[in-house]
Amino acid sequence: MNILYDERVDGVLPDVDKAGLLQALRTQWPDLEVLHQQEELKPYECDGLSAYRTTPMLVVLPRDNAQVQGVLRLCHERQVPVVARGAGTGLSGGALPLEKGVLLVMARFNQILHIDPAARTARVQPGVRNLAISQAAAPYGLYYAPDPSSQIACSIGGNVAENAGGVHCLKYGLTVHNVLKVDILTVDGEYLSLGSNALDSPGLDLLALFTGSEGMLGVITEVTVKLLPKPQTAKVLLAAFDSVEKAGRAVGDIIAAGIIPGGLEMMDNLAIRAAEDFIHAGYPVDAQAILLCELDGVEADVHDDCNRVREVLEQAGATEVRQARDEAERVRFWAGRKNAFPAVGRLSPDYYCMDGTIPRRELPGVLHAIAALSTEYGLRVANVFHAGDGNMHPLILFDANQPGELDRAEALGGKILELCVKVGGSITGEHGVGREKINQMCVQFNSDELTLFHAIKKAFDPSGLLNPGKNIPTLHRCAEFGAMHVHGGQLPFPDLERF
């Protein structure tokens, strides 16, 4: 199997005295829960990207900031790597543990500390589930806009770490657009507060820098998020097409018409059939592609926008345009889309979920190219998109029990991501880089850019103890991958080569 991270991480970092570290933790914090038996550690060996597994050396489950601070200080003193983890729903291997490191599980930081309906903000701990924020804000007529498909389980701390999105990010933005402030602890236990309760704060925008940093710069202890008023009404149109290319062009036509939907999602035939069999959402199973277009706001505006979008869809070649008759049908339409991943999981023993972003204008051509790659590699691909912002989620179906299929799935996934970069897009839209896409970072960025990333990492974490081996490849790795030429054979920051 092609390992997607640098195995030298564990080989270069000093050996860890597990027994000594365990004893120190128990002595200094008798109430801190520390898991160290093999059967206790096994549940933490993988996240949502379950194809890759590593058993952590120790798992700690702190309950308060003092315990987190103490664990970080002790690990910093003993040069022990630390990987922070939330709900474990990530899909890029960003929170996978290390065999010679501590897994810092923040799941017990699950309190909603304060909701301010006048300021439309909520202060929450990092282990709070995404959906729980909206549920707590609902009595005030408010909600938290970013809604990943895993929102029933994923934690807000993980959302910040990966800059998560969701089906409504086209209109309301990603996590970075909906967070005001983040309190963190650095690797040596120093408290920092990034951002402010105001709409803007002076100085460099370290909050934006930290959001999406995948646990490499600090450990989140508290998040202040923006809340929005619930729209007066929301309507969903379902449009069926006889080709994915027509559906792709229709996405651009809607935006070009000056309409910004609350959500604009696309599914191809394989995903449609899987979701319909699983959820019974009422999807047309003979369609080659469908678009789900949600329009929200005040009643009069939504009514007019629905009529305009219907016209655009029909002109784009839709074979059917259907508006949800009531709230129950609207919920079913979205349930099919939000359950597309588990639905596709019923079609094959395994699937590999990709996450790339492309310019909307490139959708038809990229879909055609993915179909060609699917044929070349002999693996089926189900396409699910946040189509409005060009965020693709090709699901590559394979059977890990068949020799070579996992390797082919990985190779196909890499080719799809490289295709995204080639047309002017990105290797990730919301899942992050983690271990999964570290090779493709060499394609996305040049050596000067990666050198700058390493310098930022070094400023926050000089010893490279926070989540090593993730997100940012070494220049040596990129040279081996064949994706770039290094500065005259010289590697800047040679002491960072183990990260």
The pLDDT tens digits for 173-216 are 999 999 999 999 999 999 999 999 988 888 999 999 999 999 99
| Shared-domain flag, residues 220 and 130 | yes
Answer yes or no: is 286 within a domain. Answer: yes
% pLDDT > 70, the chain: 93
pTM of the model: 0.91
Give yes or no for residue 284 having a pLDDT over 50: yes
413: in domain:
yes
Are 335 and 296 in the same domain? yes
Is the predicted pLDDT of residue 5 greater than 90, yes or no? no
Q: 431-446 pLDDT, tens per residue?
A: 999 999 999 999 999 9
418, pLDDT greater than 80: yes
- Please indicate, yes or no, if residue 23 is contained in any of the structural domains: yes
The whole-angstrom distance between residue 178's C-alpha and the CA centroid of its chain comes to 15
Helix runs in 268-398, H state only: 269-279, 299-315, 327-338, 340-344, 363-377
Say yes or no: 256 and 218 in one domain.
no
Res 52: pLDDT: 82
| Residue 428 belongs to some domain of the structure | no
Same domain for 329 and 245: yes
Among 52, 34, 193, 53, which residue's Cα sits nearest to residue 104? 34
Same domain, 157 and 145: yes
In a domain, 147, yes or no: yes
Tell me, what amino acid is at 314?
E
- pLDDT value, residue 48: 87
Question: For residue 201, what pLDDT is reported?
Answer: 84
Asked if the structure places residue 269 within a domain, the reply is yes
Give the domain CATH number at 196: 3.30.465.10
Does residue 223 lie in a domain region?
yes
Counted domains in the chain: 5
User: At 413, which CATH number?
Assistant: 3.30.70.2740
Q: With 90 as the cut, is the pLDDT of residue 408 above it?
A: yes
Residue with the larger pLDDT of the pair 80 and 479: 80
342, 369, 395 - which closes a domain: 342
Who wins on pLDDT, 393 or 487?
393
Do 177 and 203 lie in one domain? The reply is yes
381-386 and 263-268 strand pairing: antiparallel
Separation of alpha carbons 338 and 275, rounded Å: 9
State how beta strands 102-105 and 82-85 pair: parallel
Q: What is the CATH number of the domain that holds 53?
A: 3.30.43.10
Q: Are residues 279 and 308 in the same domain?
A: yes
d(CA 276, CA 284): 8
* 398 pLDDT higher than 70: yes
What is residue 350's predicted lDDT score, i.e. its pLDDT? 92
Q: What angle do CA 338, 109, 23 make, to 5 degrees?
A: 125
Task: Indicate whether 317 pLDDT > 80.
Answer: yes
Q: Pick from 342, 365, 381: which residue ends a domain?
A: 342
Residue 295 has pLDDT above 90, yes or no: yes
- pLDDT score of 13: 56
3-state DSSP helix/strand/coil % of the chain, to nearest 5: 40, 20, 40
Per the domain annotation, does 404 fall within a domain? yes
pLDDT of residue 11: 40
Residue 494 has a pLDDT of 43
- What is the predicted pLDDT for the residue at 330? 96
Question: Of 229, 252, 273, which marks where a domain is finished?
Answer: 229
Using pLDDT thresholds of 50, 70 and 90, give the confidence band for residue 26: very high
| pLDDT value at 424 more than 80 | yes
Residues sharing a CB contact under 8 Å with residue 389, sequence separation 6 or more, in sequence order = 165, 169, 170, 357, 360, 429
| Residue 111 reports pLDDT greater than 60 | yes
Residue 64: give the domain boundaries. 8-105
- What is the structure's pLDDT at 479? 87
Residues 100 and 118 in one domain: no
Question: Do 117 and 225 share a domain, yes or no?
Answer: yes
Q: What digits encode the pLDDT tens for the residues 437-474?
A: 999 999 999 999 999 999 999 999 999 999 999 999 99
Band the pLDDT of 269: cuts 50, 70, 90: very high
pLDDT of residue 468: 96
Same domain, residue pair 246 and 287? yes
Query: Do 316 and 331 lie in a common domain?
Result: yes
Residues 298 and 368 in one domain: no
